[in-house]
Amino acid sequence: MRCLIDAEVALSVTVPGRVAFTLAAAAGADREELTLSDDFPPEIVEFAHGTRTHVFDLPARDFSVRYQAECEIKPVKPQALTTADLAIYTRPSRYCPTDRMGFAMAEFGGLSGDRAKVDAIVGYVHDRMSYVVGSGSPVDDAVDRLLAGEGVCRDFAHICVALCRVIDIPARYVSVYAPGLSPMDFHAVFEAAIDGHWYVFDATRLAPRQSLVRVATGRDAADTAFIATLGGCEIDFRGTGLFVTAEPELPEDDGSELIPLAW
Amino acid sequence: MRCLIDAEVALSVTVPGRVAFTLAAAAGADREELTLSDDFPPEIVEFAHGTRTHVFDLPARDFSVRYQAECEIKPVKPQALTTADLAIYTRPSRYCPTDRMGFAMAEFGGLSGDRAKVDAIVGYVHDRMSYVVGSGSPVDDAVDRLLAGEGVCRDFAHICVALCRVIDIPARYVSVYAPGLSPMDFHAVFEAAIDGHWYVFDATRLAPRQSLVRVATGRDAADTAFIATLGGCEIDFRGTGLFVTAEPELPEDDGSELIPLAW
Amino acid sequence: MRCLIDAEVALSVTVPGRVAFTLAAAAGADREELTLSDDFPPEIVEFAHGTRTHVFDLPARDFSVRYQAECEIKPVKPQALTTADLAIYTRPSRYCPTDRMGFAMAEFGGLSGDRAKVDAIVGYVHDRMSYVVGSGSPVDDAVDRLLAGEGVCRDFAHICVALCRVIDIPARYVSVYAPGLSPMDFHAVFEAAIDGHWYVFDATRLAPRQSLVRVATGRDAADTAFIATLGGCEIDFRGTGLFVTAEPELPEDDGSELIPLAW
Amino acid sequence: MRCLIDAEVALSVTVPGRVAFTLAAAAGADREELTLSDDFPPEIVEFAHGTRTHVFDLPARDFSVRYQAECEIKPVKPQALTTADLAIYTRPSRYCPTDRMGFAMAEFGGLSGDRAKVDAIVGYVHDRMSYVVGSGSPVDDAVDRLLAGEGVCRDFAHICVALCRVIDIPARYVSVYAPGLSPMDFHAVFEAAIDGHWYVFDATRLAPRQSLVRVATGRDAADTAFIATLGGCEIDFRGTGLFVTAEPELPEDDGSELIPLAW
């Protein structure tokens, strides 16, 4: 199966400085290219789990950045949970304030086995949360949106990650390209460790998990912003275009299978 | 049925000023007396729903205040909901931030009829919250404790009040004397309006509702503190003693009946 | 001095039920009229401090409500603070969570005299907060907006009210008509008790205080919404028009004077 | 200058599992030993900036762990800020919710130069916050404690870190051994990047910075807990003993110098 990605982001730099784009497929790709409309060389910074950020030092002007890639998606073995993973991905984080969410232990902690617990959490979030485009604010955390009862992919992932961590299941946030998502947009899902290995889940159930392409992996959305300014740089968005497709055809995902996210 | 109340609070005034005690039965009582250990005259301030506050202007010294009363509890007709009640008791308040809790509409709003909705809320809170003496902090609101999954009577009442208001059922917080509560303590319950009349509920289910004696009624615990300082006065607590009994015998309450709180 | 008010609100009722309009001048007025586009009779509910709410029971249809009044504004003596006021308006409330804001005691508590303290608070908020039309969300409280550093009149008033209460100065929130405000809009200010009497303050300094007309008075914006739905009613706003002028001319307010709000 | 460390933590494991101790000096040390009262072998996990965590898999029983070290503290050159550092340490984190704290830009953003900004932040926090042993709760973040106006070393560091990040100055949280601290305790300070290099600051001003020994470095306290349970393990603390001294004598720190934290 192949995933074809064509992502473009147009922006105006209003105060010059460094802009960080985290748009590249984590695995690298068979063919990929990240280009800026003007000829500025990126510094490529690597973070954990293959996350790659392209940093450009830009003057005040309009720019667009385009990422094109063709990724072969092969069945992979699930990654093993390391002790460092266990320590990091059970901690509270900015948008997953697990230390305030003890109720989840009573709600889910008594179930038998990691998989039953994670399945229960995904079902709980899917059933209770309404997917509402444009809802919420960038400062909202998992608690805010769980209480509001509605959110976007970011919120579904944050809530699941947080609930898993409360019951001692390591969980992390992953930004992805998602063939089949409608309307097409940047997407976010989460990985949880089941019996010592990482698998991918998506409580929105809006795109099949088999054809997801990992971009950035981290504690929550604070670690995976597809665009961020560094230092005093300021930008305005002027628009995004995103075309992501799977070939030869979109897989089916009834949500019941354990699926590792391709590395 | 009679309720016998003997409540004593010992305190040290460290910075002189006015101290407000809201300890008196709302209905008045057949016989009642509120006395301060020293001979200072109270100003008695009346608030809505029979709430009475005794305010003393005190020098820096140790004091104790004692409230003794004998209240006849007769079956009463439920109070009618006024339009002013409807407006006030569906608003968000300090410890019941209903405007952040939209999830409750999906969870409970679809049930048929006020009573089914309130019963579902009481059951939900009773089942999910652990009653843990000493848990939480005075600044915690309904959201904080619902997320924590544990709390005291104040928290059970706040959460129920908040959930009711989200689904447009007027609800208010009531501090009470509660014969049969074990260990004996100042208690808090809530009233919700069912089909236009006020009934009392208690998601802790720790004391029968038939023998409760109303003290203060308000939006939440901010309106009903049994002791508060006014202005720059400062106090230290030195202890409380509380004896509350029902005669001739404690009623039974299986939680299923609609019970109006005696006025 | 006279204040001429012409306020109109257009709305669609989408789920029928009761809608509460709190648009009328608290003092009543020499001539005033509140009319609905269709002929439905209001129930007029009175709350503390002259607040009057017109409640209409409306079918699903488009409506507009119009309030026209001509108010004589005469110099008044400041209202005396009652003990009940003192108790109520030093409590924390939904948007003024004073029990979380102890820092204000160190910041302002040491100043000498009520007036110096309130002046310092008004100056602090005026200097630190940017007035940004459209900023914030209806669920934001004084803390959220103080931290954000920007807000609207509601937020300036909430923050001042909260800071006053922390240092034991009674403070309340007042929705007003404000001749001279630009752009014209519904406005909110606050009253604080200085040496036992209520005076009006406005940290936005966007309109003179002498020609303000009190509408609703309460703990915070939860008590003063100019439109609210009661019960399960649902509405959409379709627009507002507001013309408020002072005659014969707009007074000047350099912010330094103690001014009681006309009753 | 030498720093002598002798730290002991006694605990009861009540539910068996893995316990992570982050007690070791980041630099390693000339001589160091981390021993458990019983003979269980640790897994040593390394995180960024030299942070080392000793993980033991323990049965339900009483244990104590002891860390003894002798560290030579030599003047060091400040570490250079990397682009990855810049990206990570300007992000919001669990206890430093910078995206809610925009006010800091108006308060500190206009000052000229990184050093003036950080000095202003340290002074602001030192002046406004009271150091109160035992204040706050583990779930409190920088915002909660800034509003409360009091806290412990963790809170002083969180607030400074958060304020720096809002104004685009990278800042990170560091747990340290602090000779001269009184009463002796585990301590926390922060590092900020001034003109591209990391320096250490301490708004508590309770111990000289020259003799601090770095333990764990991260985004905030979530990354640096000296003891944490991994998975479903549960423990009770039974006590800690901590002796930390500098030889030949404690340096003086008037707070005015730029000091890099020894690596």
Kindly identify which residue of chain B lies nearest to residue A136, measuring between CA atoms.
B100
From residue B222, alpha-carbon distances to B94, B219, C94, C157 in Å are: 7, 7, 10, 20
Residue D261: closest CA among D166, D181, D193: D193
Residue in D103, D105, D150 closest to C146 by CB: D103
B 13-72: CB under 8 A from C: 18, 20, 43, 45-47, 53, 55
Q: Are C227 and C240 in contact (CB under 8 A)?
A: no
d(CA B105, CA D159): 37
What's the pLDDT score for residue D138? 94
- Alpha-carbon A179 to chain mean position: 14
Kindly identify which residue of chain C lies nearest to residue D143, measuring between CA atoms.
C147
What's the pLDDT score for residue B232? 87
Interface contact flag, D83 A55, Cβ < 8 Å: yes
Residue in D87, D139, D168 closest to A45 by CB: D87
Q: What pLDDT digit, counting tens, does each position of A125-181 carry?
A: 999 999 999 999 999 999 999 999 999 999 999 999 999 999 999 999 999 999 999
Residue B39 reports pLDDT greater than 90: no
Burial class (CB in 10 A: 0-12, 13-18, 19+), C31: exposed
- A232 to chain D, minimum CA–CA distance in Å? 6
Helix (H) or strand (E) holding D162: helix D153-166
Residue D35 reports pLDDT greater than 80: yes
**Residue in the block written with tokens 């200010």:** C189
For residue B55, the chain C residues in CB contact (below 8 A) are 83, 87
List of domains in chain D: 2-73+226-246 (2.60.40.2250), 83-223 (3.10.620.30)
Phi/psi for A259 (5° steps) reads -125, 120
Where does residue D205 fall: left (phi above 0), alpha (psi -120 to 50 degrees), or beta otherwise? left
A 169-208: CB under 8 A from D: none
> Could you tell me if A128 lies within 8 Å of chain D, comparing CB atoms?
no
Interface contact flag, C147 D150, Cβ < 8 Å: no
d(CA A141, CA D8): 37
Interface contact flag, B101 A147, Cβ < 8 Å: yes
Kindly identify which residue of chain C lies nearest to residue B234, measuring between CA atoms.
C168
Interface contact flag, C87 B20, Cβ < 8 Å: yes
DSSP secondary structure string for all residues of D30-53: SEEEEEESS--PPEEEE-GGG-EE
- Categorize the per-residue pLDDT at B139 as very low, low, confident or very high, splitting at 50, 70 and 90: very high
DSSP secondary structure string for all residues of chain A: -EEEEEEEEEEEEEE-EEEEE--S-TT--SEEEEEESS--PPEEEE-GGG-EEEEEEE-SSEEEEEEEEEEE----PPPBPPHHHHHHTTS-BTTB-GGG-THHHHHHTTSSSHHHHHHHHHHHHHHH-EE-TT-S-TT--HHHHHHHTEE-HHHHHHHHHHHHHHTT--EEEEEEE-TT-SS---EEEEEEEETTEEEEE-TT--S-STT-EEEEEESSGGGT-SEEEETT-EEEEEEEEEEEEEES-PPP--S-S--PPP-
Kindly identify which residue of chain D lies nearest to residue C146, measuring between CA atoms.
D103
Burial class (CB in 10 A: 0-12, 13-18, 19+), D80: exposed
> What's the CA dihedral at D7, D10, D15, D20 to 10 degrees?
0
Interface contact flag, C87 B228, Cβ < 8 Å: yes
Q: Are D244 and D178 in contact (CB under 8 A)?
A: yes
- B98 to chain A, minimum CA–CA distance in Å? 10
CA atoms within 13 A on the CB side of B35: 8
Residue B184 tokens read as 């004996």
Burial class (CB in 10 A: 0-12, 13-18, 19+), C185: middle
What's the pLDDT score for residue A224? 97
What's the pLDDT score for residue B194? 98
Q: Are B91 and C222 in contact (CB under 8 A)?
A: yes
A 73-112: CB under 8 A from D: 83-84, 86-88, 90-94, 97, 99-100
Residue from A22, A91, A137 whose CB has the most chain D CBs within 10 Å, to mutate: A91
d(CA B169, CA D223): 44
Residue in A90, A94, A231 closest to D92 by CB: A94
Kindly identify which residue of chain C lies nearest to residue D163, measuring between CA atoms.
C147
Q: What pLDDT digit, counting tens, does each position of D144-184 carry?
A: 999 999 999 999 999 999 999 999 999 999 999 999 999 99
d(CA B80, CA B78): 6
- C170 to chain D, minimum CA–CA distance in Å? 20
Residue C60: closest CA among C91, C100, C17: C17
Interface contact flag, D149 C100, Cβ < 8 Å: no
What's the pLDDT score for residue C263? 64
Chain A to chain B Cβ contacts (< 8 Å): 45
- Categorize the per-residue pLDDT at A263 as very low, low, confident or very high, splitting at 50, 70 and 90: low
Q: How many helices (H) and strands (E) would you count in chain D?
A: 5, 14
Phi/psi for A221 (5° steps) reads -60, -20
Provide the pairing of β-strand D17-21 with D227-230: antiparallel
Query: Three-state SS across chain B?
Result: CEEEEEEEEEEEEEECEEEEECCCCCCCCCEEEEEECCCCCCEEEECHHHCEEEEEEECCCEEEEEEEEEEECCCCCCCECCHHHHHHCCCCECCECHHHCCHHHHHHCCCCCHHHHHHHHHHHHHHHCEECCCCCCCCCCHHHHHHHCEECHHHHHHHHHHHHHHCCCCEEEEEEECCCCCCCCCEEEEEEEECCEEEEECCCCCCCCCCCEEEEEECCHHHCCCEEEECCCEEEEEEEEEEEEEECCCCCCCCCCCECCCC
- Categorize the per-residue pLDDT at D263 as very low, low, confident or very high, splitting at 50, 70 and 90: low
Residue D76 tokens read as 């060091």
- DSSP class of residue C37 equals S
- C232 to chain B, minimum CA–CA distance in Å? 6
What's the pLDDT score for residue A140? 97
Residue from B135, B146, B147, B156 whose CB has the most chain A CBs within 10 Å, to mutate: B147
Chain B to chain C Cβ contacts (< 8 Å): 76
d(CA B189, CA B153): 7
- Categorize the per-residue pLDDT at B167 as very low, low, confident or very high, splitting at 50, 70 and 90: very high
For residue A130, the chain B residues in CB contact (below 8 A) are 106
Q: Are B209 and B261 in contact (CB under 8 A)?
A: yes
What's the pLDDT score for residue B263? 64
Can you give the C-alpha Rg of chain A in angstroms? 18
- DSSP class of residue D97 equals -
Residue in B83, B87, B138 closest to C99 by CB: B138
Q: Are A184 and A95 in contact (CB under 8 A)?
A: no
Interface contact flag, D147 C107, Cβ < 8 Å: no
What's the pLDDT score for residue A16? 97
> Could you tell me if A150 lies within 8 Å of chain B, comparing CB atoms?
yes
For residue B97, the chain C residues in CB contact (below 8 A) are 94, 139
Residue D248 reports pLDDT greater than 80: yes
pLDDT-flagged residues of chain C (< 50): none
**Coil, helix or strand for D186?**
coil
Provide the pairing of β-strand C130-131 with C150-151: parallel
Would you call the peptide bond into C183 cis, given omega within 30 degrees of 0 as the criterion? Answer: yes
- C112 to chain B, minimum CA–CA distance in Å? 13
Residue in D100, D102, D148 closest to C103 by CB: D148
Interface contact flag, B149 A104, Cβ < 8 Å: yes
What's the pLDDT score for residue D28? 78
**Helices B114-128, B153-166: crossing angle, 10 deg rounding:** 140
Residue B83: closest CA among C112, A95, D143, C56: C56
**Helices D153-166, D114-128: crossing angle, 10 deg rounding:** 140
Cross-strand pairs, B100: none
- B68 to chain C, minimum CA–CA distance in Å? 24
d(CA D150, CA D139): 15
Can you give the C-alpha Rg of chain D in angstroms? 18
- The set of chains that have 3 or more CB pairs under 8 A with B is A, C
- Categorize the per-residue pLDDT at A200 as very low, low, confident or very high, splitting at 50, 70 and 90: very high
Helix (H) or strand (E) holding C106: helix C103-108
Q: What pLDDT digit, counting tens, does each position of D71-108 carry?
A: 999 889 999 999 999 999 999 999 999 999 999 999 99
- The set of chains that have 3 or more CB pairs under 8 A with C is B, D
| Average pLDDT rounded to a whole number, residues B126-152 | 96
Kindly identify which residue of chain A lies nearest to residue B149, measuring between CA atoms.
A103
What's the pLDDT score for residue A262? 80
Interface contact flag, A102 B128, Cβ < 8 Å: no
- C90 to chain D, minimum CA–CA distance in Å? 17
What's the pLDDT score for residue C227? 95
From residue D73, alpha-carbon distances to D70, D214, D246 in Å are: 10, 11, 9
Interface contact flag, D101 C147, Cβ < 8 Å: yes
**Residue in the block written with tokens 């350099």:** C254
Interface contact flag, C93 B97, Cβ < 8 Å: no
d(CA D212, CA D202): 11
Interface contact flag, A87 D228, Cβ < 8 Å: yes
What's the pLDDT score for residue D83? 96
Would you call the peptide bond into A59 cis, given omega within 30 degrees of 0 as the criterion? Answer: no
Strands (E), D180-263: 187-194, 197-201, 213-218, 227-230, 234-247
Residue C63: closest CA among C238, C233, C243: C238
d(CA D30, CA A232): 41
Residue in D128, D148, D150 closest to C100 by CB: D148
Q: What pLDDT digit, counting tens, does each position of A66-113 carry?
A: 999 999 998 899 999 999 999 999 999 999 999 999 999 999 999 999
Kindly identify which residue of chain A lies nearest to residue D102, measuring between CA atoms.
A139
Interface contact flag, C147 D107, Cβ < 8 Å: no
For residue B193, the chain C residues in CB contact (below 8 A) are none
> Could you tell me if C222 lies within 8 Å of chain B, comparing CB atoms?
yes
> What's the CA dihedral at C45, C46, C47, C51 to 10 degrees?
110
Neighbours of D230 (CB within 10 A): 18
> Could you tell me if B168 lies within 8 Å of chain C, comparing CB atoms?
yes
Interface contact flag, A149 B100, Cβ < 8 Å: no
Task: Count how many residues are written for chain B.
Answer: 263
Interface contact flag, D86 A168, Cβ < 8 Å: no
- DSSP class of residue C183 equals S
Residue from D82, D94, D105, D230 whose CB has the most chain A CBs within 10 Å, to mutate: D94
Strand order in the sheet with A43-46: A43-46, A52-58, A17-21, A227-230
Residue A259 tokens read as 């699926």
